[in-house]
Each structure stands twice: as C-alpha cells, then as structure tokens.
Amino acid sequence: MSEKKVPFMVIVLLLNLLLLIVCTSSTNEHSPNLEGPYLGQDLPGITSEIFAPGIISLGFHENGIIFSPDGKEIFYSMSDSQYSSKTFVQMKRKNGVWMPPEIAPFSGRYYDHSAFFSPDGNTLFFSSKRPVSNNESPKDDLDVWTIKKKGETWGEPVHLDGELNTEHNEQITSMAASGNIYLRTDYEGRGKWAIYVSRLVNGTYTAAEKLGPAVNQGYNEGNPCVSPDEQFLLFKSGRPGGYGDTDLYVSFKQNDGSWGDAINLGEEVNSPENELEPRLTPDGKYLFFTSFRKYDPSMFRGKSYTQLMELYTSPQNGYGTLYWTNAKIIEDLRPKELELP
C-alpha cells in the first residue's frame, strides 16, 4: 500500500513553524557565538565533523550549503523525509554577527534545489520546478533559474534562456570561474542520472555535454562540485567498492584535458550510509557535504521522554545532516604527476 503524501502547503507551514522555533532558540542561546565566517564553529581537521549542530544541523534533511564570496550570506536547503518538498533557508551576517535562519524570500512555495553563487556573488543559480509563466502549473522536472542581487536584497527569479533547459531534469550544483555549469541530469531516461557540463559561450549556455566514463559509470552519479580552475571534480556515486550506499569521489583533470579515474575520499568523509552534495567554501579551504549516517541506538542512556525526543530530532537521526572537513584531504589524493606548481 502506498503512503499518503502530506499536502505541500502543510509541509510549508510546518517548515515555517520549525524555522520560527529554531530562530527563537538560536536568538536566545546561540547569538553570542554566531560570529566569524563559520558561525563561531571550531575549524575541522581531516576527520569530518557535524557543522553547527543545534544551529543549522538539526536532523531535518539539511543539505547543499553555500557561502557567498563576501562571507555575508549562507544558503542551504531543508526538506521533508521523502524529499517531496525542498526549500531554501538563508542566513545573513550583519556587523560580524549571523542572524537567525529564515526562509529565503524567493523560496518556500515551489520545489527548489541546489543553489550556488556566481564567482562574483551577484547572481544566484538554482534548480526549481516552479512554473515558467504565471498561467502555468508547476513543472514535473527541474529547470535552471537565476536571480540577481539588488543592493542588499535579491530580485525575482528568471528562467534561464538558451539550450540548457529541456523537458528533462537539470539539477545544477556547481560553477567554475569560467562560468561553465556542472550539473546532474536524466537525459537518458527518468532514473538514469549522470553528470554533464554546460559551457558559457558568448554569454549563452550551451546544451549540456556528458562527462566521460571515468566520472559516469551508471551508478547514480551526481552532485558535481568543480574547483574554480576546473582541475578537479567532486561528486557522489554508488559504484562498487565504496563504504556505503553513495560515497563522495574526486576526479582530477589529466594533462590531456580528460577526467582521471575517480578516487574515493575515504573513511574520513564516507560512511556506511549516503554521502552527497559536496560543496567547497569560496576560499577552497573547507569541504561541506551531507551525510545520512546514524547514531547507535544501543548507546542511548536517557531516562525521560524529553531526552528520547531530543535523540530522535537531532543530527545523526538517519536524515541528512551537514558535515565539514579540511579540504586538504582532496589535495592529499592528487596524483603526483598532476601536482600543481
């Protein structure tokens, strides 16, 4: 028997209520520490750690976090347990202090996915199922949208012109300094995902081109994150030989311009559960990602109902949780013949 889906507007209302509770808690308990580029969090080493537990990482499918190049804004997404809805959450930094999270002004009504900043920080790219025109219904597939910054606020989303958007899903997740967009699509049929690149040529995005077999092996590859110079590519894959369901991998650009064999990021990043949505900070120093890893329920020693609820509604409850680690782990995997000067 199929499960009955929760109406979308009910999900949005619940998400708004959740964010109100989070904002109140953050304002009362965390504001004194919400300073610095990473919300006052201690910087991680090579072993990955939960990012901002109790502030951003709450155990509610947080993923796809991005930081603006000027360090004044954060966007990430939250979704319901079945990923039937997805909403962008925004945090702003004012006078060096991060304000509580709130739903992004252009999100909350439609299924929005995978935002990222242009290199100059003045344009936000994202994928969405929102209708292309006011007299249409929401789309069944993801298209690419852009939104321009106007002073301290964001304008209205605009459907991207050109050849990139099709009747299939365009799930974009990364942009190089050149403007080239790396994305995940199902051009070969629904459920058959692969990683593509759309190139910026004379101000227009070309039809997406599939990357080679070193990256795409037919094992649910996706969530590409390219370095600004396009010398390495992070992505998720469920290929054999990993640590769990989907792991994070890196492929380095070879001297002939092709992508090299993918290298697993190892147990410092990957777990027996899903790892996905890799993101690099603008300075390239830290790697963020989402993990579905779980706590060991046999370790629970609580006595009260409140303690039990805290356990079930906290990071590592089996839903997506944000982690971060030092990006040095990527360079440590670079083949010696490809080492940068």
pLDDT digits (tens, 9 = 90+) for 109-140: 999 999 999 999 999 999 999 999 888 899 99
Strands 86-94 and 204-205: unpaired
Q: How far apart are CA 215 and CA 108, in angstroms?
A: 33
- Write down the pLDDT at residue 174: 95
Among residues 157, 216, 154, 141, the alpha carbon closest in space to that of 182 is found at: 216
**What CATH number is given for 8-338 in this structure?**
2.120.10.30
Q: Note the pLDDT of residue 319.
A: 87
Q: What is the pLDDT of residues 59-118, one digit of tens each?
A: 889 999 999 999 999 999 998 877 778 999 999 999 999 999 999 999 999 999 999 999
3-state secondary structure of 338: helix
| The pLDDT of residue 31 is above 50 | no
Q: Which amino acid is at 7?
A: P
pLDDT at residue 341 in the model: 62
The two beta strands, 97-98 and 143-150, are: unpaired
> What backbone phi and psi angles, to 5 degrees, belong to 255?
-65, -25
pLDDT tops 60 at residue 1: no
Cα(26)–Cα(29) distance, integer angstroms: 5
Q: Return the structure tokens found at 272.
A: 């027996």
Strand partners, 198: 181
Position 48 pLDDT exceeds 60: yes
Quick check: pTM over 0.85? yes
The string of pLDDT tens digits covering residues 296-320 is 766 677 778 888 777 777 788 888 9
pLDDT band at 25 (very low <50, low <70, confident <90, very high): very low
Length of the chain in terms of residues written = 341
Report the pLDDT value the prediction gives residue 83, as an integer from 0 to 100. 76
Instruction: Please report, for the chain, the start and end positions of each structural domain, with discontinuous segments joined by +.
Output: 8-338
pLDDT at 6 over 80: no
In terms of phi and psi (left: phi > 0; alpha: psi -120 to 50; beta: otherwise), the region of 98 is beta
Name, in order, each residue with C-beta under 8 angstroms of 19's C-beta and a sequence gap of 6 or more: 89, 101, 102, 103
Nearest CA among 323, 246, 282 for reference residue 63: 323
pLDDT tens by residue, 231-243: 999 999 999 999 9
Residue 328, phi then psi, degrees to nearest 5: -55, -25
Give ∠ CA 298-302-308 in degrees, rounded to 5.
85
* Burial profile 79-93: b = 16 or more Cβ within 10 angstroms, e = fewer: bbeeeebbbbbbbeb
Start-to-end C-alpha separation, the chain = 59
Looking at residues 132-149, what average pLDDT do you find? 92
> How does pLDDT run across 165-217, given as a tens digit for each residue?
999 999 999 999 999 999 999 999 877 899 999 999 999 999 999 999 999 99
For residue 253, what are the CA distances in angstroms to 79, 122, 226, 249, 285? 34, 28, 10, 13, 19
pLDDT at 150 over 90: no
- DSSP, collapsed to helix, strand or coil, labels residue 337 as helix
How do residues 221-276 score in pLDDT, each as one tens digit?
Answer: 999 999 999 999 999 999 999 998 999 999 999 999 999 999 999 999 999 999 99
